[in-house]
Amino acid sequence: MDFELSDDQQALSDGVRAFLDGRLDMAGVRAYETAGSLDRDRWQEMAGTGIFGLRLAEVDGGVGLGVADAALVFEELGRHLVAGPLVATHLAAGSFPGAADGSAIVGLVDDVEDSTPVLVEHLDSLDLLVLCGPDGVRLADLDAVRGAAMPIEHPTDPLTPVHRMPAMPAGDVVISGDEAVDFAMAGTTLTAAFQAGLALRAVELSVAYAKERIQFDRPIGGFQAVKHLLADMLVAAEVARVAVYSAAVHLDDPSVGDVDRAVRAAKVVAGEAAVKCGKTAIQVHGGMGFTWEVDAHLLLKRAWVLDTHFGTADHHALALADAL
């Protein structure tokens, strides 16, 4: 057993971070809000680094890596708050042409049977839309969806534009059986990785602010009332991160333990860490934290969005309880 990152994994994580630091700063990420659709050049550039085709075999134009490696990449994407259907496009690579090389942006809707409105994310930027449900993965008729969908004027997360559908779209099953289970499990884990990244970013942002914000003649990070909030954030974020790594390693090698439990635990713990850290980031930033200008609200809003992907924390907690 060696649960530390291998040298290759560390290099992968550092490489993605350096790329995103250089090419997708917060101004770049925030540009989506006014542009209304995703920046295709940037998307292609991301695809060029291999983030979508990471797990495809090299003969299929991929990098031949595992879910653990992909989790490191999605943690960094989360840390940088990158917008767009990243997990869905990554999952679609291999099954849908164009996803791996960035020429097709693939959206995803969780096909859950309930009576609440159907909301589709990033619709104006999509080339394909897949529906992930109990019978497998279906491909929606995108033109029909576009024809019926109504835009939501004020999406909660400005970087996650949303349309409302009158009903869940139909579509033919394109992935089923074990392959569909793998699709959902990897999607759950990589979403959790993104959530862990959001939590870690919230810690970094808040710690930096607490070190420079002076009140009562000293940095507020010196007061225990504030530093204990920050410590609790770090604890939540770090626990989330290892839970995600563990889930990913389980998916790559199911012989190491209970895959289902590891994956569900990661989604619960990372989902809650992202929400908790997003909220606390706003609190630590005080009045500034409540402004549009400070990034803290974007972290929290994305955390709220992602909790609904591939099953909420509560959904997975109930499943874990049943399995006790």
Partner 1 sequence: MDLRDSPSDAAFRREVGEWLDATLPSLPPKPPMDDFEARRRYDTHWQRTLFDAGYAGINWPAEHGGRGATATEQLIFLEESERRRAPYVGSNFVGLLHAGPTLIAEASPRQQAAHLPPILRGEHVWCQGFSEPAAGSDLASLRTRAVRDGDEYVVSGQKIWTSFAQIADFCELLVRTDPDAPKHRGITWLIMSMDTPGIEVRPLRTVHGSPEFSEVFLDEVRIPVGNRVGAENDGWRVAMVTFSFERGTAFVSELLGTRRLVADLKALATTITRRGATAWDDSGLRSDLGHLDAELEALWALTKRNVSQAQRTGVPGVGGSVFKLSYTELRHRLADVSRRLLDRMVLSHDDLGEWPTGDHMHGLFHALAMSVAAGTSQIQRNIVAERILGLPKEPPWTSS
Name the residue nearer to partner 1 (CB basis): 69 or 121.
69
Cβ contact 168:151 at 8 Å: no
| 311: Cβ contacts below 8 Å, ≥ 6 apart | 110, 188, 264, 267, 319
- Check binding of 101 to partner 1 (CB under 8 A): no
**What does each C-alpha distance from 68 to 4, 57, 96, 252 come to in angstroms?**
11, 15, 22, 7
Q: Of these, 51, 68, 70, 205, which contacts partner 1 (CB under 8 A)?
A: 68
Interface characters, 159-188, with partner 1 (x: CB under 8 A): ------------------------------
Cβ contact 47:54 at 8 Å: no
Q: Of these, 77, 193, 269, 299, which contacts partner 1 (CB under 8 A)?
A: 269
Residues 120-149 that bind partner 1 (CB under 8 A): none
Q: Of these, 23, 253, 290, 291, which contacts partner 1 (CB under 8 A)?
A: 253
* Selected range binding partner 1 among 13-21, 133-141, 229-237, 291-299, rule: CB under 8 A: 229-237
- Check binding of 255 to partner 1 (CB under 8 A): yes
Interface characters, 209-228, with partner 1 (x: CB under 8 A): -xx------xx-xxxx--xx
Tokens 């989902």 locate to 271
* Selected range binding partner 1 among 34-42, 97-105, 173-181, 232-240, rule: CB under 8 A: 232-240
- Check binding of 205 to partner 1 (CB under 8 A): no
SS3 199: helix
- Check binding of 8 to partner 1 (CB under 8 A): no
Cβ contact 300:279 at 8 Å: yes
Q: Of these, 27, 59, 167, 321, which contacts partner 1 (CB under 8 A)?
A: 321
Cβ contact 241:293 at 8 Å: no
User: DSSP letter at 123?
Assistant: G
Q: Which residues pair with 162 in a beta bridge?
A: 121
Burial per residue of 99-138, b for 16 or more beta-carbon CB atoms within 10 angstroms, e otherwise: bbebebbbbbbbbeeeeeebbbbbbebbbbbbbbbeebbb
SS3 157: coil
Q: Which two tokens stand for residue 129?
A: 């839309």
Q: Of these, 33, 45, 110, 238, which contacts partner 1 (CB under 8 A)?
A: 238
- Check binding of 192 to partner 1 (CB under 8 A): no
Cβ contact 279:268 at 8 Å: no
Name the residue nearer to partner 1 (CB basis): 31 or 234.
234
Q: Which residues bind partner 1 (CB under 8 A)?
A: 1-6, 9, 68, 203, 207, 210-211, 218-219, 221-224, 227-228, 230-232, 234-236, 238-240, 242-243, 245-246, 248-250, 253, 255-257, 261-262, 264-266, 268-269, 272, 313-314, 316-322, 324
